[in-house]
Structure 1
């Protein structure tokens, strides 16, 4: 079965339009229609309903679309793996990360590049659980370092370490006089929290519910950096990873520990179980695991 025709067919279905698909594929609409007719002849059945104004697939079309999508995805994955095998130690490490890794990741990458100086690192922010799964399963990343535990048969989630969540306040805030805070101390404060889909948000909300307290949410953000900036400008208080604010931030904000057992999170290294990875990338992932298995400080 011709792979190009299958790709044409999938593109038509995804766009629900011959004209849009032709534009995306940079071919003429008649050529696209002709390719689909040849594919139907090869299959031995119509793939698209032609008797209605609404775009629809036949039963044969539904089956072919499902199977062809998986097959072409696997072909794309194979091509990526083959390219990585060929380049060996001269490729790139594509790594999803969370904000709090700045205390240890740069040092680990520095040590790694002493052995693999030609490897290029592409680092990007990890958002929701779905974002983690999607980037791994489509091979858009080699690994993710995240505080999300991923429940998927094809993904390994290796626990690296635990870290506490701490409160961040403006320097002159009345609560700054206390060495340790309770959640009740923060109940009436203008609160800055992660948007939907972040594990940190879930942990904070669950902790407040457990204490039967309400959160006064005034800002929702994607990055700890934004949260701290809002605190710095006296727009509220927030709770972030202790490692994000481990190093001195500046004199305009302070951090305080919170007395609550729920406010702790685990950081995981997640990657595809059966994906072939070049030795150079395997070595990097191994170095991450070994860094914490030997109880080295963060």
Structure 2
């Protein structure tokens, strides 16, 4: 929308003179005349007629002015609304996290509010795939998630921990003693049901890679979204699963390292184009300290 052009024509109608309007608009009279002539050529009819050295609106001009004033009002309201959104956005931080990777969210929010009581924190729960979508679309400022690859042209990573998936078997599984002596052999698990996370997760991608490396196709798969649910199903005799190394519930099952290892990274990630404000930097530092405290 050419708001300057609309303002020029509205000012001429108010001043009833191109020379007075040009002075008010701080432009030359010839430039103003060209602007008006352009609009009249575009719509195919004059906007003004001259009477006693003053300019008056034609019927077409009156219609045009009414539309121009309405358009300018809408534009100004839109600018005010955008300004409010921008102001509110500057007082908000939104981040995405994968469940299980951030355990003391209330503690993080409490500590942050002590430093920045005027800034709101919005949290979203999502997988690694949805976190990337939130970041690329500007919905979130950063994410706490997992990745198997730290190279990305659009995202920056702050590594929090490098770990790996292990094969978890419930106590009493017939292969425990053999695997302890000889290592994991997937061909011995051909009759087991594998409890796996959803397809879009890093853990599922790693699981698929493990199967491919071992040339193994599970007989049956149960899909669950959370690691705790997978462990409960396993402990109740409904299958076996992969778990993160050093998982806090590892005393409830027997875990075996895999060769080659299924390594992945827990990270804070944000767009490389992101400007890190002082408040955002403080929040990242709190999250890093909190994470360090509960993984030790």
TM-score by length of structure 1 reads: 0.58
- CA gap of 1:150–1:159, structure 2 versus 1, over 3 A, is same
- CA gap of 1:111–1:83, structure 2 versus 1, over 3 A, is closer
Aligned equivalent of 2:123: 123
Aligned equivalent of 1:225: 228
- CA gap of 1:256–1:95, structure 2 versus 1, over 3 A, is same
Aligned equivalent of 1:209: 212
- Residue 190 of structure 1: how far off its partner (Å): 0.7
Distance 2:94 2:290 in 1: 19
SS at 1:101 equivalent:
coil
**Candidates 202, 205, 230, aligned match of 1:199:** 202
Question: Paired residues, what number?
Answer: 218
Aligned equivalent of 1:156: 156
* 1:99 and 1:224 in contact (8 A); partners too: no
Aligned equivalent of 2:28: none
CA offsets 1:93-151 (integer angstroms, 9 cap, x no match)? 4221223324676665565455345655443332252x222211222222111113476
- CA gap of 1:139–1:218, structure 2 versus 1, over 3 A, is same
Verify: 1:246 aligned to 2:237, yes or no. no
- CA gap of 1:114–1:164, structure 2 versus 1, over 3 A, is farther
TM-score by length of structure 2 reads: 0.58
Verify: 1:237 aligned to 2:240, yes or no. yes
- CA gap of 1:108–1:170, structure 2 versus 1, over 3 A, is same
**Candidates 179, 182, 188, aligned match of 2:184:** 182
SS at 1:174 equivalent:
coil
Aligned 1:50-69 pairs, distance under 5 A: none
Cα RMSD of the aligned pairs, angstroms, is 3.9
Aligned equivalent of 1:145: 144
Distance 1:77 1:274 in 2: 21
- Residue 159 of structure 1: how far off its partner (Å): 2.5
Distance 1:162 1:174 in 2: 31
Larger radius of gyration: 2
- CA gap of 1:242–1:267, structure 2 versus 1, over 3 A, is same
**Structure 1, gaps ≥5 residues long:** 4-40, 45-75
- Residue 285 of structure 1: how far off its partner (Å): 1.8
- CA gap of 1:200–1:157, structure 2 versus 1, over 3 A, is same
Distance 2:236 2:260 in 1: 29
Distance 1:132 1:201 in 2: 16
Distance 1:182 1:77 in 2: 59
- CA gap of 1:214–1:157, structure 2 versus 1, over 3 A, is same
SS at 1:270 equivalent:
strand
* 1:84 and 1:278 in contact (8 A); partners too: no
SS at 1:147 equivalent:
strand
**Structure 2, gaps ≥5 residues long:** 4-38, 43-80
Aligned equivalent of 1:84: 89
Distance 2:96 2:272 in 1: 17
CA offsets 1:197-249 (integer angstroms, 9 cap, x no match)? 22211212212222223323421222223322322332101102235x31468
Q: Which range is displaced more, 140-149 or 181-190?
A: 181-190
Q: Which range is displaced more, 112-121 or 132-141?
A: 112-121
